[in-house]
Copies of this chain bind each other. A is one copy, B any other.
């Protein structure tokens, strides 16, 4: 059918389009998609943590060599525990500080959602800043080799978890790992 003589109801957008799951041709599209989907991925991960009491750690590297990490203190605590050769069978919440973290987690999400609905009504000029060390979502500039190394060390320790689990029950654990403060030190460099 040809277009009608009447006003073509030119929609402001065509809405979400279906795309093939293959590398996006245009660099620009790749970047936008990475941005959006990384955000979505981290949010899903956050929900998974809260809904199921799970621990999740994610590291992504964009094509542009920027790294982003997701995790929470629980994860860090867990890693730290392994690192120090303790709590090898202790992934479950193991203390007051963990409980406290669970609470902030909950509070963060609640606040986040409250904020969102407020903003939807155009009432809230404020924006949620960095959730005070709860989620890490820290871009690491590819030029900062030290940070990358730091990151890599963190990941490597994660692999040690597997090793630790294997040795679990008969071993006090390997060396203490210095500086497990992990990523979020100064953070906040503007990337790209």
Contact = CB atoms under 8 A, between A and B. Distances in A.
Q: How many identical subunits does the complex contain?
A: 2
B56 A63 contact: no
B34 A52 contact: yes
A44 B47 contact: no
A152 B79 contact: yes
Given A60-B56, A152-B162, A152-B166, A23 B51 contact: yes
Contacts of A54: 34, 38, 60-63
A80 to B, nearest CB: 10
Chain A contact residues: over half helix, strand or loop, or mixed?
A: helix
Give the interface residue-count category, chain A: 35 or more
Contacts of A60: 48, 54-57
Interface string A94-119: 00000000100010011001000000
Contact of A40 (B19, B44, B53): B44
B47 A21 contact: yes
Contacts of A161: 67
A142 B78 CA distance: 13
Interface in A28-65: 30-31, 33-34, 37-38, 40-41, 44-45, 47-48, 50-63, 65
Contacts of A30: 51-53
B151 A162 contact: yes
Contact of A78 (B52, B61, B88, B92): B61
A31 B158 CA distance: 23
A30 B51 CA distance: 7
Q: Identify the 5 closest CB pairs spanning chains A and B, nearest first.
A: A34-B52, A55-B61, A53-B63, A82-B152, A30-B52
15 contacts: A22-B51, A33-B51, A34-B54, A37-B52, A38-B54, A41-B45, A44-B44, A56-B60, A58-B58, A59-B158, A89-B142, A142-B165, A145-B166, A148-B165, A152-B162
